[in-house]
Structure 1
């Protein structure tokens, strides 16, 4: 299941970004003593007591403001509210209850979602007299905290995770291949799904951003069970015109988390863009099997080496995922669309593959004979033993004499030798080093 989403909302300058940065453990949001500085939502992953969740920082809500930027921030915060499983409504304990807080409180009560009323800037154990005014909002007991001094944050985090929805097992059987269809808006994600299914199962539109949320489409093909998770397209910030698209990144990240395989859609008429790299990076970092599907191939004028040149360009731009197969397709003409499912099934199996330990060590032994491990100041790295400890993605542990002697180039060499011997096409791979006596 995807991680729960927690949104921090409130009017400008109540300390939302300071709170966000404390929980993130690093300075991500811009903090400035001026209303409206945080103009876009920023998200981070937070872990507390073995519970992981996605935290969204928002621009301040100004319910009655006609200012364009504040209006956009208000819309973004509303979208964050729609996305969230738990809402942290932050108010200013120094300023006391103001009319804007009441307006926001009315908005939040109507959501029907768990809301935690958090009174920030309470820097001492003595509550200010204005603290009790916040009971008028009708949102339960306020929680006093100081984001700057990190007071009360632990108790608040306990309350946040206590309100997470109960984890529900997905209805899909264990052998169902879950495919996140990811990419920028208007690259043809919904059209490809419809072409594969042979029927209109999801809305197709030329208007970028039609798919506003992740839509699950389960189906069977032969004896194999699949579910396509069609996501809202991820756009570059500079090109986001509709506020509602701004939370597509969070939804797409959640879809990637849920998936076994990611199908990265690229527009053949545009090639690989910076945003494509970011989206591919999400899938790679999450350790998901991936296939790169270049759609609209029918719109590209072909010459003798057109496809080969495209492949070179893609490999150069997405150099961090050389393992991902590339398909050139057209949802309109159905060219090579029939190859998508067989490729997805293949890389899903590769993603789940476990290799025999004896054969693995034979391969590594041969690799060492061909290319000795690195040395430093007269000390050479010795490799004693290799084992695969997990799948999805495949993860290997190499036991060595001294982890400090390892080098990324030799790790890449070992990875290439493992891939040559066993395949692991379409999937990232993780290689860890341990010294004797260390836990795996």
Structure 2
């Protein structure tokens, strides 16, 4: 196996499979799964910060830019010899570019794994943001006990549910669990919609804020902290090449991406509106926490529990899929000359266990997903989604960029860098004052 980073592709077999090409519908399924992830949880909180109208505009704008960046990646991939994201960056910027992609994928995927565990912990064991107590499902059902604390509940899930799944050495082994995870995400959105519509008909719904509320000049800069959250929610570029390689024609990937982006943008805005109708300004960074409220009926309480459990289980099943890509990138980065990871049992086991331990400790130490979304969206995610694809077009090693491409790429890189810098500075300023 070649030691070069662009020759090792997470989620791809070492040799091409003789199986028939994947369908566009299958690619839509895979891309949508990569996009939705945990981003949907914090979308309602962005409406709280931005207001409904700016949030809708921002979701549409970032989805469109994601489509443009994927088109850039696909065009430069098929104009050169590279078959991976890291390979395309290596053709343009050498080894530094290849390593930059790998590092960003590692940061993004590890961060998302931590976010998944935080959300699962919120659902099972509750949380206490800003001093307010939100009980988890286990605490509601059995009372507050030592065994349903966040620390123990997450440890149990990791050891007896996630560990057996992440020990599978072929990603194909997860195809059924991935299909179930998507179904659970759909159930989550459907139940949330029913609850919001019921509240609207009963006159109990909250009025969504159409525009942001600016109390002082510093409030304006706080608006930028919502942008990285939405950027993270649309970052799926690390899976573009593995998915596209299974299709018969490169153009099919663009079609699949556009269908997926329209679908996911619609889901994001719908859950944002429905979440705001249900909870108004009391909405939390993780909307699942809000569903611990007492309902007026047994059916309402059951639906609240179902919506939380459905999405928590969805994340449990998506976690191993994300772990495949993360583990492969870390192994190739640390051990480029070693044999394939799946054939080296000791290395495979200790790397898998190390990633689980790190994710667990981080989820316990930092139980607020808003900070993780802001950090990822302001750094590695924005690089993978916008800065790297734009830089490839501006570098133009194959001489295929048009004037329109360069203008669009320059604007994309510039806006991404400016908004990320403002978001990071605002967060640092807020933390220094707290």
Give the structure-2-normalised TM-score.
0.22
> Larger RCO: Structure 1 or Structure 2 (Cα < 8 Å, ≥ 6 residues apart)?
2
Tell me which structure has the larger Cα radius of gyration: 1
Question: Normalising to structure 1: TM-score of the pair?
Answer: 0.22
Report the structure, 1 or 2, having the larger strand content.
Answer: 1
